[in-house]
Structure 1
């Protein structure tokens, strides 16, 4: 599964900007983000898939990942992406800033 780490340089910048609306939709969800410390990564991934299925599907496709209907694969890939984003202060700052500029 591809994540943001698979893209570098100008391609990486374009990919982050392309994916920003989908990631932003997820990270501004106060219900999900309020539970981050209480959930395992897999539980968080499952919650993201269930709550933001369209945004997550578009995010996966934008990153070049195949469409999947397998619940475990979807939850795992959401968990991996959330872990990558939430463990990177610069990523959180970027997507939070993106959300504020859209408002």
Structure 2
């Protein structure tokens, strides 16, 4: 199983947030936000299907071109924050895997 620390950068203002994504047994995986007050809620579950991370909370955020079993440190891609619920800006983001956990 693979666990990664991922840096999100808002395309609008370069604000950054760190999230951890954890591979677990079964179809649901776990994520948590490391950066204080960036997302509310700050943890939950996600489905990793079709190279996309989509939390189970509708209209929250997603990472495109991300496969938890295939990324490595330095992997990058696009994504979108639909509703952070807190201080992180909504809109397009870029993601980068910064380390293995």
State the TM-score, normalizing by the size of structure 2: 0.29
Relative to its length, the structure with more strand (as a share) is 2
Which structure has the bigger radius of gyration? 1
State the TM-score, normalizing by the size of structure 1: 0.29
